[in-house]
Structure 1
Amino acid sequence: MAKVQSACIGVCKFNRPGPAGAHCIGCSMTKPQKKIAKKQKKPEAAEAMLALIVAQQQQMGRFDHWRGAYLKRCMKKGRPVPPLIRDREAS
């Protein structure tokens, strides 16, 4: 299984308030979530983390820009688009 691209899109500005503290305005992750995401070695764990971040973005709102930037980053890094993101394309 190929490596799963992190939810990070390279913005990394933690000034959006949220229930878990300051969230990144680019991907919605908190600093502790970013640390956890970087340590994920197994693709299944990385996909689960990505699913958590997507759900978090939907809950918080205002992250419509993320999906396009994430797809672009996957293409740039030569990584496949995870099924979770690909399935959202069709809907």
Structure 2
Amino acid sequence: MKIVTFCNIDTKLLDPSFTVENYEETSGDADIALIDINSIFDFEENKSASCKEKFVSIAILDDEDDYDAFKNFGIDAWIKHEDISKINELIAVLKKRFLS
């Protein structure tokens, strides 16, 4: 599974079986896009070059106001920054639900 990051995230949190790339250096065709409130416009401008036609977006929320900002961008899933250690569990669910 290929993940593209549009935000700063400790990639050590992600399962080592995943290929993780930054959107500025991606070879494209990512299955999952990780974004935060500061990278939403980078995501909008670059998602077609960075992701497969069918991909899942995960927004990392710092606070409740972030949700309101993201809801108009068609984000598939959200995770609170304080719960980021559970991101692999979320990815597993999304893989079964959206990417299978």
Q: TM-score normalized by structure 2?
A: 0.29
Using CA pairs under 8 Å that are at least 6 residues apart, name the structure with larger relative contact order, 1 or 2: 1
Q: TM-score normalized by structure 1?
A: 0.31
| More strand by percentage | 2
